Amino acid sequence: MRVASRDAEGQRRTRALGLAPATEDDLKKARLCLLCVPDAAVPAVSRELATRLPRTVALVHTAGALPLTAVDASRGRAVGSFHPLCAVSSPRDSLTGHAVALSTRSPALRGVLRRMAEDVELHALDVPESRRAAYHAGAVLSAGGLVALADAAVTALGAAGIARDDALAALLPLMRSALRGVEARGLSGGLTGPVVRGDTAVVAAHLAALPPDVAQLHRLLSRRALGLASEKLRPESRAALARLLADD
């Protein structure tokens, strides 16, 4: 693999990571070019590359939300999407063990993308073009949404007088333990807390104690938890929680 950087800073980072820079000749001989650029830059970058590279070089973007039409497919060029489901916040983050969403209309390119996934130990998911937005929303909820949820939980502990740094340090191991439970026992089996116990009084106390915006989020998530826990609860407990968590 070689990296073609668009500016001097990108070239510096490539060298710092010990990666080999790509020459123009490397690009022309490549089987595919992976566009690891911001979503908004994909159309322009693909158009520019399409004028320079033989049509035998496939262009593949790495954006979860963009359709295949964002990539220049002129002259019959194969195009695709390769979107790893990994919250990458450092260039040294490993993709191993994660999933990757694949999309292409080319059977030959699909085979190449699948082999790429296997090489870095990614589990391949085929995403229909018509449902890409729903797929990407789910991915965002599980990554950026999780971070936003952590911020809400830190704010809740702040309402109890706990400093933000102390709150985050206390909550991160708890969040990890919840994810381990889901991994071991599934969504319903990994659910803990007052909803799955049918403890309406505790949930009511939570809603009363929280800042309004966090209370609303707590209400929405508790309704979701009630759906997961529904079969485990007595009918009267389920009904009481449903009344408490209904929209005001």
218, 207 Cβ separation under 8 angstroms: yes
- Strand-strand pairing, 58-61 and 123-126: unpaired
**Residue 146 in this model has a pLDDT that exceeds 70:** yes
DSSP string spanning 107-126? Answer: HHHHHHHHHHHHHTT-EEEE
Least confident window among 6-15, 34-43, 107-116, 186-195: 6-15
From edge to edge, which strands make up the β-sheet containing 32-35? 32-35, 58-61, 79-85, 99-104, 123-126
- Strand-strand pairing, 99-104 and 79-85: antiparallel
pLDDT in tens, 96-140: 999 999 999 999 999 999 999 999 999 999 998 889 999 999 999
Output the pLDDT for position 190: 95
Output the pLDDT for position 28: 85
